[in-house]
Chains A and B, each alone.
Chain A
Amino acid sequence: MHFYQILKKIIRTGVGKGRFLMAAVGLGIAMLLILVALQVHHNFNELLYGERNQNERADFLVINKTITNEMMGNNALSTFTPAEIDDFKKQPFVDDFGVITAGAYNVKMVANQLGFSTELFFEAVPDSFIDVKTDQWKWQQGQQEVPVIVPSDFLDMFNFGFAMGNNIPQFSEETVSSLSPGIVISQGMRSSQFNGRIVGFSDRISTVLVPLSFMEWANSVYGEGQAKPPSRVIIKTKDPSNPVLTDYLDQHGYSTNKEKTKYSKVRVIVQTIVSVVGFFGIVLLMFALLVFSMFIQLVIASCKKEIRLLITLGAAPRQLQRYLLKQFVPLYIVIGLLALVLVAGLQWWAAGLLAKHQMFVPSLPGVITFAAAVTILVLVYLVNLFAVKKHIAGM
């Protein structure tokens, strides 16, 4: 007969077994919650930043200060100071940063073919921020023809709003591109005339763009000497829905295209839910640990006489500790494995489901999930070991 077999008859671990099993179930649920929370977090990151899920590597946001009633009448308040620009550039979510330079002169566009002329404005951004790729996007001093990029919304507004309402024919992008409206830039009495050429339509930047070289020349000739501080900036970012970014914008009273940052809200909600689930998991784990150590105390207390006699007869405290741990630990390992298997199953199922929507997550739980399961088991083991040691030593 083995020593432990005899011990089994002496140290009855059946005392309060119901409570122990409840705690074991609690441990299982706690592990499941914690692992699921970690795995969801992991998956969410994978969806946002994973290689396979990158439809577009980067996004561009045009940012300006929100115009409030207090700011009205004081244009300086809506411009970015050099300090603000420096701070913005330093933010971790900013991959590239450019200012939108506004023209310091008046612009008038005359389209004789269409029979209209309009007051206009020009702005310019560094070329790397422009989504229209064309060879014509260049200008050097002396060049009569000025390439212009207009927002695609402009054409839509003209075609579907203005033209329809005023019985004017609609124009295709090609037609508009073939026009060369006259452009007059002026300041006071001085003026220059150019031929405009619409070389593209931008979905990214909703302003009328001219090449930076033209802008710099025109500002130096027609401007009032010193450069105006920018009132709009453009940033390149990997992740416009990054809550850190939206927080930064909110804090500084900046605004941008809400459409692009709206996922930020979803992310905050998901992260909150995941955190809450994880938190409950941890609380439940704490309770399970508490019940386990109370259970061990109960078992040892209920066999106090027997354990004392065993020690009197020469049983080493270490032998008894090992025996007691052996009664509980295998169950913990089984629970841990079950939780892992369940999470793996869920992950596999979720991966299949998401793949149908062109969203890719790994079909196996991440390393972090396994590591967490092992960590929790080690924690449970240590708490048990501590409880057993403490109460056996008290004999």
Chain B
Amino acid sequence: MEIQLSAVVPVPLREKVLQQQSDIWNRDIRFLPAQTIKIKAPSGTGKTTLVHYLYNIRYDYTGSISVDGKPWSSFSKDQLAAIRQQQISVVFQDLRLFDQLTALENIELKRVMSPQPYHPQEKIREMADRLGVSHVLNQSSATLSYGEKQRIAIIRALMQPFQWLMMDEPFSHLDEANTEKAAKLIAEECRARNAGFVLTDLDHDNHFDYQVTYLL
């Protein structure tokens, strides 16, 4: 699955974007299948906006984003749902867990959303063990710390099949050791699927072997 951006300019950031030099905005670029991509940028330059564009939940841009040559705007709601269940997964910066569910249910929701789950249920506990959140699985997600929520959101994103994983500052509230573990798990899961990912962050990091790094 190849993602093409052509002359994408976010409408709210138009002035700013056109003045500055950017590797992404207002350019024609391709995210090739299985590429590991880092997008580095300071705050306020549109990292989250870009992830939302790539995941197609925000549309306020000029230019176009296409998936395998087909622009996002041409997909129906049911086609989009299928893509989100099978081909593109996401870790939002604001995590977006359901407060009324437990941590486990939040993960399970994503696992059973498609009729044939990618992972068996035991995999949840296994991943939670690795990331050190198995003790909070049965707690309401509203009561978790931000760092715990972040790890739950990462596990949730890994429950489904995907060819691309979009991550928006996924380790912002994790310490070095936990980040290490999470990155390792993500790398393994991506490798198992032969999938690529797009990760945004403020700074330079060595959590993954990035094939491409863009400055936003």
Residues of A within 8 A of B (CB): 1-3, 6, 9-10, 306, 309, 311-319, 393
Please judge, given known A-B contacts A9-B105, A306-B98, whether A315 and B112 are in contact too, CB under 8 Å: no
Q: Is the CB of A314 within 8 A of B105?
A: no
Q: Is the CB of B81 within 8 A of A6?
A: no
Please judge, given known A-B contacts A2-B112, A3-B112, A9-B101, whether A314 and B85 are in contact too, CB under 8 Å: yes
Residues on the B chain within 8 Å of A9, using CB: 98, 100-101, 105
Q: Is the CB of A6 within 8 A of B105?
A: yes
Q: Is the CB of B101 within 8 A of A314?
A: no
- Tell me if B204 is interfacial: C-beta within 8 Å of chain A: no
Residues on the A chain within 8 Å of B113, using CB: 3, 313-315, 319
Of the listed residues A313, A315, A316, the one surrounded by the most CB atoms of chain B closer than 10 A to its CB is A313
Chain B, residues 88-104, CB within 8 Å of chain A (1/0): the string is 00000000101011000
Q: Is the interface of A mostly helix, strand, loop or mixed?
A: helix
Residues on the A chain within 8 Å of B85, using CB: 314, 316
CB distance from B161 to the nearest CB of A (A): 11
List which B85-140 residues lie within 8 A (CB) of chain A: 85, 96, 98, 100-101, 105, 108-110, 112-114
**18 A-B contact pairs sorted by A residue (CB < 8 Å):** A1-B105, A1-B108, A1-B112, A3-B109, A6-B101, A9-B98, A9-B101, A10-B98, A306-B98, A313-B110, A313-B113, A314-B83, A314-B160, A315-B113, A316-B81, A316-B82, A316-B85, A319-B113
Cα distance A312–B81 in the bound complex, in angstroms = 8
Indicate which residue in A6, A309, A313, A315 contacts B108 across the interface (CB closer than 8 Å): A6
- Tell me if B84 is interfacial: C-beta within 8 Å of chain A: yes
CB distance from B109 to the nearest CB of A (A): 5
Q: Is the CB of B100 within 8 A of A311?
A: no
Q: Is the CB of A10 within 8 A of B160?
A: no
Residues on the B chain within 8 Å of A306, using CB: 98, 100
Please judge, given known A-B contacts A1-B108, A3-B109, A6-B105, whether A315 and B100 are in contact too, CB under 8 Å: no
CB distance from A2 to the nearest CB of B (A): 6
Cα distance A315–B81 in the bound complex, in angstroms = 6
Of the listed residues B57, B78, B101, B113, the one surrounded by the most CB atoms of chain A closer than 10 A to its CB is B113
A-B contacts counted at CB < 8 A amount to 57
Residues on the B chain within 8 Å of A1, using CB: 105, 108, 112
Q: Is the CB of A313 within 8 A of B84?
A: yes
- Tell me if B77 is interfacial: C-beta within 8 Å of chain A: yes
Q: Is the CB of B109 within 8 A of A313?
A: yes
Cα distance A292–B136 in the bound complex, in angstroms = 40
Chain B, residues 9-42, CB within 8 Å of chain A (1/0): the string is 0000000000000000000000000000000000
CB distance from B113 to the nearest CB of A (A): 6
Cα distance A261–B183 in the bound complex, in angstroms = 94
Residues on the A chain within 8 Å of B98, using CB: 9-10, 306, 309
Cα distance A91–B71 in the bound complex, in angstroms = 70
Q: Is the CB of A393 within 8 A of B81?
A: no
Cα distance A2–B105 in the bound complex, in angstroms = 10
Q: Is the CB of A313 within 8 A of B96?
A: yes
Residues on the B chain within 8 Å of A315, using CB: 81, 113
Closest chain A residue to B110 by CB distance?
A313
Q: Is the CB of B77 within 8 A of A309?
A: no
Residues on the A chain within 8 Å of B105, using CB: 1, 6, 9
- 10 further contact pairs, Cβ within 8 A, besides A3-B109, A306-B100: A1-B112, A6-B109, A10-B98, A10-B100, A309-B98, A312-B96, A314-B81, A314-B83, A314-B84, A316-B78
Residues on the A chain within 8 Å of B109, using CB: 3, 6, 10, 313
Residues on the B chain within 8 Å of A318, using CB: 78, 81
Q: Is the CB of A317 within 8 A of B100?
A: no
CB distance from A322 to the nearest CB of B (A): 12
Residues on the B chain within 8 Å of A317, using CB: 77-78, 81
Cα distance A309–B55 in the bound complex, in angstroms = 13
**Closest A-B pairs by Cβ, 8 of them:** A314-B84, A316-B81, A314-B85, A3-B112, A6-B109, A1-B108, A317-B77, A316-B78
